[in-house]
A and B are shown apart, each in its own frame.
Chain A
Amino acid sequence: MTISDTLLRVRMLTVGFPNIHGPNEVVKSLDFDVARGGALGIVGESGSGKSMTSLAVMGLLPKGAKRTGSIEFDGTELTALPERAMRSVRGDRIAMIFQDPLSSLNPYYTVGTQIMEAYRSHRTGVTRRQARNVAIEAMERVHISDAARRVDHYPHQFSGGMRQRVMIAMTLSMEPELIIADEPTTALDVTVQAQILDLLAEIRADTGAGLILITHDLAVVSEVTDHIVVMRDGDLVEQGPAERIFTDPQEPYTRMLLDAVPRIDDEIGLLRTVSTEEGR
């Protein structure tokens, strides 16, 4: 991969919560790239450090966290940016979608107001009317019907799937180059999940934005991403093209994970697990 093909280049990324017992690292020396227009899946179980990785890239780590290593986005070293400059990268060029859209939306403002605010905070000299049109257009793009009316509705007036669409609309209005989606469909029903995953694929095809999809669900990453990073306890277990990870996993942990996933269309038998971990 040449430099110009690489949108995000992460090297030796380490995140720790130092305390008197030691550095307490939750992400350890991670290296990965996201290609321009590419889709990277970061998979792992709870405690793997996958969410901390995304927060580290966004510069949104909780207080007390210590981040080292390099995060190069489109040639800019993000770890060296002052908070003010980072704020304009965030949202404007890198956008994030979270698992729970309700807690990411303010219940006291209409969804339109929130999309408009997000848009105006990253664009100077935009009138309210222009921002409102952008909001309606973004809602139409995520297939919220009757967007011109629903733009004035409050978050509680939307279903879980529709709220996630609102979040994606907010993201879209920024025209980001990279979208980081952290378990975006985990809280949703399976039919709604399928719609949101289709929507993400459609947006990528339309805008050419890169995607980092963080999830515990191997079936979801297999459908959405072209490159996969497997994490466990803060370590990168293995990474490679999706097809290689799924057809020829090199690490015992990856093989165990793949064996443990119940299949909808494969043989039924004893699910293989690591016997030494029985009772974990």
Chain B
Amino acid sequence: MTGETLLRARNLVKEFTVSGGGLLGRSGRFRAVDDVSLEVAKGETLALVGESGSGKSTTARLIARLIDTTSGTIEFDGREVHALSGKALHAFRSEVQMVFQDPYSSLNPKHTVERIVTAPLAYQRRPIPGGARVFTGALLERVGLNPDHANRFPAQFSGGQAQRIGIARALAVSPKLIIADEAVSALDVSVQAQVINLLRRLQDEEGFSYLFIAHDLAVVRQIATRVAVMNGGRIVESGDRDAVFGAPQHEYTKKLLAAVPRIRPEWDAARRRNEQARREREEAL
């Protein structure tokens, strides 16, 4: 890992109480996250991948302090997250932002875009630099939206645009870490590609880190610096992206990679040759 460590989670455990079904069922403890340790360096993207029930989203929620840990420690920028209170907790809440899967359900339908993207600042009782109108316009431009649309409501935007609003809201408080929980999974492929490009560009410009939670390995490969693979609440393998994708060590990672549907590489190669020929023909005209 290069760079300074921003986030360091050690031996995270999260247990939930489950009530047993039926007459003879006894309630028990279900361990959703089981001894997870991970680090995120400044400016990098750690992708946490796994199938449903792997514990990846619960891990994200623990790190964002949306839920409490059963045991384990989370250190963010040198401070223990679960010990934070008052002003320090407020600061943490703006330094770590989340972007969710469903853009519509994570945006208040009755609020204008301006109110939505300035809400994190209002909640922090911080002044809005340059005033709400100018601030919102600048944010919208950064995420590729029309700055004149600040007075519109979420329903007036497409899914991809709504997700950009969610990203703009995250950017409003200049976070150090953005936790993206399946942030591009619900989008159409052409829109998904645009949002992935946007996420990468913003990171290049701002230097923040991503904790990128996703089930889609092909998407992860486009955006991750490092990858941690989760299964049954545990991280079974982690490493640099090319190592995990190129030479997976754990059986589960191998199984996961083998299951990904793929377009035949020879078809892609043939397509590139045909496109090259088409361009040459067009240029010759």
Contact = CB atoms under 8 A, between A and B. Distances in A.
Interface of A: 45-46, 160, 189-194, 197, 216-220, 222-223, 243, 246-249, 255-266, 268, 270-274, 277-280
B26 interface: no
B71 to A, nearest CB: 28
Q: Which of A197, A223, A272, A280 has the most CB of B within 10 A?
A: A280
A279 B193 contact: no
B264 A280 contact: no
B189 interface: yes
Interface of B: 51-52, 144-146, 158-161, 164, 188-194, 196-197, 200, 215-219, 221-222, 245, 255-265, 267-268, 270-271, 274-275
16 contacts: A191-B259, A193-B259, A219-B218, A248-B274, A260-B193, A262-B196, A262-B216, A262-B218, A262-B221, A264-B245, A264-B262, A265-B265, A266-B268, A271-B194, A274-B190, A279-B194
Contacts of A258: 263, 271
A263 B268 contact: yes
Given A266-B268, A279-B144, A189 B215 contact: yes
A261 B189 contact: yes
B270 A194 contact: no
B222 A271 contact: yes
Contact of B222 (A220, A259, A268, A272): A268
A243 B263 contact: no
Contacts of A278: 144, 194
A160 B158 CA distance: 29
A43 to B, nearest CB: 10
Per CB-CB distance, the 4 closest pairs between chain A and chain B, nearest first, are: A271-B193, A260-B193, A45-B188, A189-B51
Contacts of B52: 160, 189
A22 to B, nearest CB: 22
A215 B51 CA distance: 20
Nearest to B277: A248
Nearest to A279: B144
A190 B262 CA distance: 12
Contact of A263 (B159, B164, B262, B275): B262
B145 A279 contact: yes
Nearest to B273: A247
A271 B197 contact: yes
Nearest to A215: B261
A189 B215 CA distance: 8
Contact of A194 (B189, B219, B222, B261): B261
A265 B271 CA distance: 15
B270 A266 contact: no
A222 B275 contact: no
A250 to B, nearest CB: 10
B13 to A, nearest CB: 24
Contact of A262 (B51, B219, B259): B219
Given A264-B245, A271-B222, A279-B146, A222 B263 contact: yes
Contacts of A279: 144-146, 160-161, 164, 194
A219 B259 CA distance: 12
Contacts of B275: 255
Contact of B263 (A192, A219, A277): A219
B194 A261 contact: no
A191 B51 contact: yes
B261 A217 contact: yes
B7 to A, nearest CB: 24
Contacts of A257: 189-190
Contacts of A197: 261
A274 B265 CA distance: 23
Contacts of B197: 270-271, 273
Q: Which of B194, B261, B270 has the most CB of A within 10 A?
A: B261
A251 B144 CA distance: 26
Contacts of A259: 193
Contact of B215 (A45, A190, A262, A274): A190
Given A189-B215, A271-B196, A271-B197, A277 B190 contact: yes
A247 B273 CA distance: 9
A217 B185 CA distance: 12
A218 B145 CA distance: 28
B127 to A, nearest CB: 29
Given A248-B271, A262-B218, A273-B197, A280 B261 contact: no
